Amino acid sequence: MVKTEVKKVAANTATKIKKILITQPKPEGEKSPYFDLAKKYNLCLDFHPFIVVDAISAKEFRKQKLILLSLLQ
């Protein structure tokens, strides 16, 4: 009985989804499969990159590496 209820809820929820959050930068070209899916299923896609990689100097890297090594001992 529980499995049947879960399937019903999943089926009902899937039809109500209209907006999807994608945690990466928006593709620059129009040839992305994201845009094809959005058009096919009438979805709104929000692209928000959550991970940002910043460069640091070699000196700062060595300093942080030493701190990490001292914590592991």
What is the sign, positive or negative, of the torsion defined by CA atoms of 50, 51, 55, 56?
positive
CB-CB contact of 38 with 45 (8 Å): yes
Please name the residues in contact with 56: beta carbons below 8 A apart, sequence gap of 6 or more. 64
Tens of pLDDT, residue by residue over 39-61, are: 998 999 999 988 878 898 999 88
Q: Which pLDDT score, from 0 to 100, does residue 64 have? A: 80
Q: What is the pTM of this model?
A: 0.47
Q: Which pLDDT score, from 0 to 100, does residue 5 have? A: 54
Tens of pLDDT, residue by residue over 57-73, are: 999 888 887 776 677 76
